[in-house]
Every structure is written in structure tokens, then in C-alpha cells.
Structure 1
Amino acid sequence: MAVSGRLPACGVLVGSEKGEVPGLSSYAARIGRHFGLPSRVRRIAMLSVHTSPLHQPGTGDAGGMNVYIVELARQLAAVGTEVEIFTRATTGALPPTVELAPGVLVRHVDAGPYEGLAKEELPAQLCAFTHGVMQAWAGHRPGHYDLVHSHYWLSGHVGWLAAQRWGVPLVHAMHTMAKVKNAALAAGDRPEPAARVIGETQIVDAADRLIANTAEEAAQLVHHYDADPALTAVVHPGVNLDRFRPADGTAAARARLGLPQDALIPLFAGRIQPLKAPDVLLHAVRILLDERPALRERLVVPVVGGPSGSGLAKPEELHKLAARLGICDVVRFRPPVGQEELADWYRAASVLVMPSYSESFGLVAIEAQAAGTPVIAAEVGGLPVAVRQGESGFLISGHDPADYARALRRFDDHPELAARMGVAAALHARGFGWDAAARRTLDVYADVIAERGGHLRSVHV
């Protein structure tokens, strides 16, 4: 293949400021990947309007997406791509910028009142947020950002305008979709509004590339939003394998947390809201105790997390349910905890129970498995990818508490099952490191910049 243009002696030419050769940047990007050389994406603007990467996951609107953004940004920076994350300021005490990690900067944007603003009220603040993003950009030279990567539909609308104004590509990750959530609502949960459906449809049309967590999510984008399959890339999220690992084992973790060594411990970890279905676990525990009253003496059910989403309307509802079911003595409610302590809760558990009605992937399931703990999960969304059926855990079709009680019974009948499946779970989770997720994401960035005729940088070797 003949390509005109001059290649520098110490690098791969992937675009020039003048005299751009049609198709050259795409060719160079492919050549770089062929020889194991990353295409140089210098700096990206990452947008997370409604939840800050600095917030504690497990309460409010902070959850798996926060973990995703933090870990992906850190890994991108580690391989040379700087990341600036724009998020809404939620208190006046926050500094304008915070260094999250070397090469990762969090920018706080004033948009609406700092506190008391629900996620559903944020669309009215998108103009103010966009203005703040543009102000930050105005202080830089042209070409400061190579690309915009937005997370969740609110960020997508800001990203759409920013990318157009800056003349760079927009990559968008939905994380959750209104149409998918509305098709699988928990009893009594409120549906996502029509405005969100319209907004998501517009972003799908506007984005240069969509990133889906799984092939199923990519298919949902095509089916529900008429996304172009050719512009939809699948990138599995990762897990921090240094933090979430078996470490010194179950006994040591239980000792640190003050849990009995001989207990059966089914754990729920995550945001407490109808979508996550922690009530299913509590009902399953009641069924199990009805069948096996003696189990009460050695059953501990930790619920680690805080109210979120529609669960904020009735923050004590799960406590009241435990009381109505007569299981307050075995259920232990704990507030959200930091990542290091969360890893101990995973290690201490016999099994993680995740009966969600919808999950785009289920990072909690991968974290638990990486820590050596099997998972009982609903067979929804990305959980069939996150959990290997019969090896690293059990997938349940539907949300009947009796089915979850039946799965829990297996761990009571076979005390060795948790340890045996935990070994397989840890091995399975090792295939989901953030380094692989970052490499795949960089490939998406490189491809979309090349397609837009952008200027990928020279990589020196």
C-alpha cells in the first residue's frame, strides 16, 4: 500500500498540522496498533454532570458509574492520556480544581444550588453547566482537548454542545437507559420521564461513538434507540485487582469486621433503592428461616449502602421491612464504606446477593468475585457476563424470593461451596482488569479521531 507523506525517523506520523493526507491518520493509527504502539491521545474532557468522582459510592447518586470514571481516568492517565473531569459543584467549600491522581484533574462547575437539587431537576441547570465548561475551555489554546467523553444522558447533552464548539469527536457512555429501566421496573418504582427518553435519543444521534458495557447493551441501543451498530463499541468495565483480591482470606476479614467465623453471611452491597431489589434478599432470608429456624443462630445479613434514587423518598423502608419480617436480629445495616473496607466486606461474605431489576454491567459483582466471593445475581443486563453461571456464582431468572432462598440453601447445605466457587470467581474476575478496559477505550478514541480527520499525535519509540 503506497502512502504519500513523510514519516519521522523516531515516530509514527498520525496527522500533520498542514497538508493532511486523506486517510493517513486512520492508516497510521492502525499501523501503531499493529506494532503495539498506542495512538497518542493527549488530553480528553470527561463529563459527569450529576455525580462527582470524588463522592462516596453507595449512596445518593454515587455508584458504579463513579467507580468506572475514577478507575478509567486513572488508567488512561497512567498510559499518558491526561483526563479533565467536569462535574457539578455540590458545596461552596470545594476548590475549583482537585487533582484526583497524577494526570487526572476534577473541575467543579457552579450550576444551580449546591445542595437539595435532585437528579430530576438537573436538566434545568445544563445551560449553566455548559457555560462553566466553556469558560474553562476559553482559558486554553485551541486544540487543548482531543475528544469529549460523556457519561450518562445529562452529560451527553453538555458533551454534544462542547464537542461541536471545539471541533472534536464525542464519545458517549449511557451507563443506564430509560427505556430499559422502564421495561423492568420494580413494584411501586417510578418510571423514567419522557424527557430523558427524548434526550437519550438525541445523544445517540449526535455521538460519534457509543460505548456499551456488554454486547447486550449494544443490542439494546440498536433496538430501543436505533443506534448505528457500526458506531457502537463494546468495552467491558474493569475492576481494581490490586484492591479487590482474596488477600488474607475470609477468617481475617471477619475478625476485622467483628463477624462470627462460623456464620452464613449473604451480603448486599450497593445503593438502597427499588431498582437494586434489596427487599428480595430480605424476603428470601425470611423464607430460609421459616424452613430452618436453627439457622438464625449463625446467620448474618449485612446491608452495606445508603438510600438512592426513588429510595430517597422512603429512606427507612428497608428497615421497616426487616421489622415486619421479624429478621432485625440477623440483618445489619451499615452506611456506605470506602473501597478498602468494602473489599473486606466482600471477603467476609459467604456470597454476594444482587437481585437487581436492571444492571448495565454490575461492577459490584465483579468486585466481589475479585475478592474471592461467589455471587447470586438476577439474570439481567450485564450480570450474565459478570457472573459465570455455576462456576463463579448462580444466576436467577426473575425476582421470586423463593428462588434466592433456594440458592442460599445450597451454601448452607455445602459449607465448602463458598470457598470452592470463590476460587473460580477470583480467577474469572482477573479477566476484567482496568488496564484492558483502558486499552480498548483508547482504541475507540483513536478510531473516532482518525475517522473525523483529527490530528493524532506522534508516538516516539
Structure 2
Amino acid sequence: MSSPDRPRVLLLSMHTSPVDQPGTGDAGGMNVYVWHLAHALAHAGWAVDMATLDRDPSHSPGIRTTDLAPAVRLLTVALAGAAEVPKEGLPRFARAFGEALAQHYADDAAPVVHAHYWLSGVAGLHVASFLRAPLVLTLHTSAAAKNLRAGSDESPEPAEREAAERELIAHACRTVVNTPAEQRQVVELYGADPARVVVIPPGVDPEVFHPPVPDERDELRNGPFTVLSAGRMQPLKGQQILVRAFGELHRSHPDVPVRLILAGVGSPDFLAHLRELADAGGVASAVDFRGSLPREDLARLMGRVDAVAVASSSETFGLVAVEAQACGTPVLATDVDGLRYAVRDGETGRLVPDREPASWADALYRAARDPGAWRAMSHAARLRARELTWDDVAAQHAAAYLACAAREHDA
């Protein structure tokens, strides 16, 4: 299995496949992160396996291997009874997922194990322990931070998850976080050893996310001030805040033409709730539901709108915000967590102090009433995004992997 001239890393993404389109199901920024990290690591000389749970109920138990690119493989693990279980039921399969992978590598050189999200972390503990391999952890979101920031319409994260994350952080050789703010969170909320927490911001793919040609940008900007919200449709992401804000803006400033595009999918109940809010606010005709878009189409749309809005209650980073800036589009974002790092207030966009619809309506009005001043931030937004490359992300991860492998060898 192993390449003799390449060190191997196993990236665990149990609950969502890195090849799934972001904005569908449980796929989001983490899928983008794992996918690009894998390919950048392969480009840097690593042999990379990505492992995910098989969600096809027609497959018999076992591991299917698919070559995706040179030195990049996808391992799809089918477990009896796991294919049709919702995300909330997956914790009971995490151990079996890890044990299947441990057996898969039993006769091979042990890889570095890098778990993404807490479910993968639980599985990764079993893989790493069985193979005597180092465990690296990236939570992407944490229960403690989400519960701290959650709005009244968001369900709290279960105690089981927070306890598991605390144990994982204690056992991991390195915990990778996106920003210094997240580093402080895992130290303060989980008691992490600061020396074992490393800050590595995500990257942006400039081949996909880049400014459009002028004619394409002007095509949409000749109409109303247009705002895009992209990602999974759920209370955490704040689409309901935006729809309410548009309603308030319509009532207070009916002379300001605005439009909201919602790109992503969600539960039928939440989508129906958003439509009800739009009707009640008198803005049904100004809210455009686009569904999930392929990355290239999303990038093209990002570059053509006036603003991208990220109204999340909690984000470890906010990759969508940086992807929008790479397209030259300033961002409106909640003044919280990693969004403070992703968006430079007054330079590449604006941070909104809270998630009150009135606050967002005011921020939208200020941007829409002076679109020239808003668009003047486009150049700084592009420069901000250029600071973040996946090659640099991969190099920093590789350094962490090698340090952990050396530590395991010396133990």
C-alpha cells in the first residue's frame, strides 16, 4: 500500500465525504478544506488517503479504494447498518469505522492519522492506538464554542460531543486551529496545552475563486444591490437573520432596491420558514433561492454580486468569506470568532456587531446607499485572499506531521 518514497497521511472525514459538493447534506467548508489539503500535500510529496463512511446502503461491509489523483486515494468504509443513519446517530459507529481502517493498514507502514471533526477524532483514536501512529486533530467547530455563541433558535450541541472533544484534545499530538482566537478557545474552554495547538489558516483556490472580467461583474450590478449567502441552510448560518433584515430594510427604506440570493440546501422545514419570513417581510420577490451550486458556478456568482453575507453565530474561520474576497467582493460578517480574522473591518468588508435583524438591516443600508464606497474595498479584499494559499497550508501541516512522527518514534 505504501509508497516507499512518500510519507503517508490518512485524513479522516467520517461523516461527510471530501468529494461531496459543499452546500449539500452535511457538506460544507470542511469538505473543501480536506479536499484541497489532500491535493496540496500530494503535490508536496506525501501519499494521501482520505477515508469516509460509505452512505450507499447497497454496498456490503468493507473498504472500497478509489484513486482520485496521483498519490491521492479515497477510502470508503461500508459498515453494517450505518449507511442510512442520520448524523446524530453516527457516534455509535465511530469505533467500528476506526477499527476497520486500523485493520486495513495492519500490515502496512503506519500513516500519520489526521482526524477532521470530532466523530473522525473518536475513530482516529482507535486507528492511532492500534497502529501506534501519531494523531493530529482538527475540530473545525467545537461544541463548547458553538454552545457559547448559539442563538435561541439553535439546538445546543450534546454533552457527549463536548466530552469527546476534551478527551481528543488531551490525546492528540497536535490540534490544528484556524486562528489565534480559536487557539485561545481550545485552551480556555478545553484546557488544551498551548504548546500542542498550532494555528494554520485555510487556503483559497485561485484557479476557482478569482475576480470576474468587468462585463460579468457589471451584468448583475446594473440592478439592485445584491447580497449572496452561500452554505448550508440552517439557523447556525443565519439565513433567517438575513431574510428578517431584508424585511426591516424594506419597511424603513423602501426606496433602496436590494436583492438576496440564498445558495445552499437545508431541511424542508427551515426552507419553508425562510419563505414565510420573506412573505411576512414583504420581500418574497427580492429573495432568490438558488439551491446548491457547483464550486465554479458559486465562484462566478460571488464575483458578480455586490456583497457576500456571513451571518453565522459561530465560525472557526469562515472560508466562504475569504473565497468571496478572492473574487473581489467585500463581505458583511458577524463580529465573532474566526470571522474577525477572515474579514478586516472597514478594509475588506464590515463586521456586524450582533445577529439582530435591525443591526444587519442597518449594515445592509449603509452598504447599499453608497455602493461606490462599498466596492472600493474590492482591491483590499483580493489582496487579503492572496495571503492564504493551500501550498502554504500543506507545508505547515507537513511540519506538524513530521514533528509528531518523530515524537512517536522516540517514545
TM-score (norm: length of structure 1): 0.84
Match of 2:180?
215
The aligned runs of 1:366-377 (5 Å cut-off) are 366-377=322-333
Larger CA deviation: 357-366 vs 91-100: 91-100
Q: Distance in 1 between matches of 2:86 and 2:57?
A: 17
Structure 1 residue 108 corresponds to structure 2 residue 52: no
Q: What percentage of aligned pairs have identical amino acids?
A: 38
Structure 1 residue 202 corresponds to structure 2 residue 202: no
Matched letter for residue 262 of structure 2: V
1:114-133 CA deviation, whole Å, 9 max, x = no partner?
65421110011123212321
Shift of 1:413: 2.1
Shift of 1:253: 5.0
Shift of 1:99: 2.4
Structure 1 residue 226 corresponds to structure 2 residue 191: yes
1:143-193 CA deviation, whole Å, 9 max, x = no partner?
242x10000111111111111111111000011111111111122221111
Shift of 1:93: 6.3
Match of 2:264?
305
- Unmatched 5+ residue regions in structure 1? 1-39, 456-461
Structure 1 residues 389 and 41: CA distance shift in structure 2, 3 A: farther
Q: Distance in 1 between matches of 2:96 and 2:125?
A: 15
Match of 2:342?
386
The aligned runs of 1:71-86 (5 Å cut-off) are 71-86=36-51
Aligned mate of 1:342, from 284, 289, 298: 298
Shift of 1:110: 0.9
Residue 16 of structure 2 contacts residue 53 of structure 2 at CA under 8 Å; is this kept in 1?
Answer: yes
Residue 154 of structure 2 contacts residue 235 of structure 2 at CA under 8 Å; is this kept in 1?
Answer: yes
Aligned mate of 1:89, from 22, 30, 54: 54
1:219-245 CA deviation, whole Å, 9 max, x = no partner?
111111111001111111111112101
Shift of 1:372: 0.5
Q: Distance in 1 between matches of 2:152 and 2:286?
A: 25
Match of 1:252?
216
1:383-415 CA deviation, whole Å, 9 max, x = no partner?
111001100000111112222222222222222
Aligned mate of 1:354, from 280, 289, 310: 310
Q: Tell me, what secondary structure is at the counterpart of 1:163?
A: helix
Aligned mate of 2:241, from 280, 292, 303: 280
Q: Distance in 2 between matches of 1:93 and 1:261?
A: 50
Q: Tell me, what secondary structure is at the counterpart of 1:318?
A: helix
TM-score (norm: length of structure 2): 0.94
Aligned mate of 1:406, from 355, 362, 373: 362
Q: Tell me, what secondary structure is at the counterpart of 1:107?
A: strand
Matched letter for residue 306 of structure 1: V
Q: Tell me, what secondary structure is at the counterpart of 1:316?
A: helix
Match of 1:4?
none
Structure 1 residue 264 corresponds to structure 2 residue 222: no
Match of 1:15?
none
Matched letter for residue 302 of structure 1: I
Match of 1:155?
120
Aligned mate of 1:134, from 95, 98, 102: 102
Q: How many residues align structurally?
A: 404
1:68-107 CA deviation, whole Å, 9 max, x = no partner?
0001111000111111011000115679122232211111
Matched letter for residue 157 of structure 1: V
Larger CA deviation: 121-130 vs 213-222: 121-130
Matched letter for residue 293 of structure 1: P
Match of 1:125?
93
Structure 1 residues 313 and 333: CA distance shift in structure 2, 3 A: closer
Larger CA deviation: 50-59 vs 95-104: 95-104
Q: Tell me, what secondary structure is at the counterpart of 2:308?
A: strand
Q: Distance in 2 between matches of 1:128 and 1:215?
A: 34
Matched letter for residue 254 of structure 2: P
Match of 1:434?
390
Residue 273 of structure 1 contacts residue 312 of structure 1 at CA under 8 Å; is this kept in 2?
Answer: no
Which structure would you say has the larger RCO, counting Cα contacts within 8 Å and 6 or more residues apart? Answer: 1
1:355-375 CA deviation, whole Å, 9 max, x = no partner?
110001000000000010000
Matched letter for residue 284 of structure 1: A
Shift of 1:265: 0.3
Matched letter for residue 91 of structure 2: P
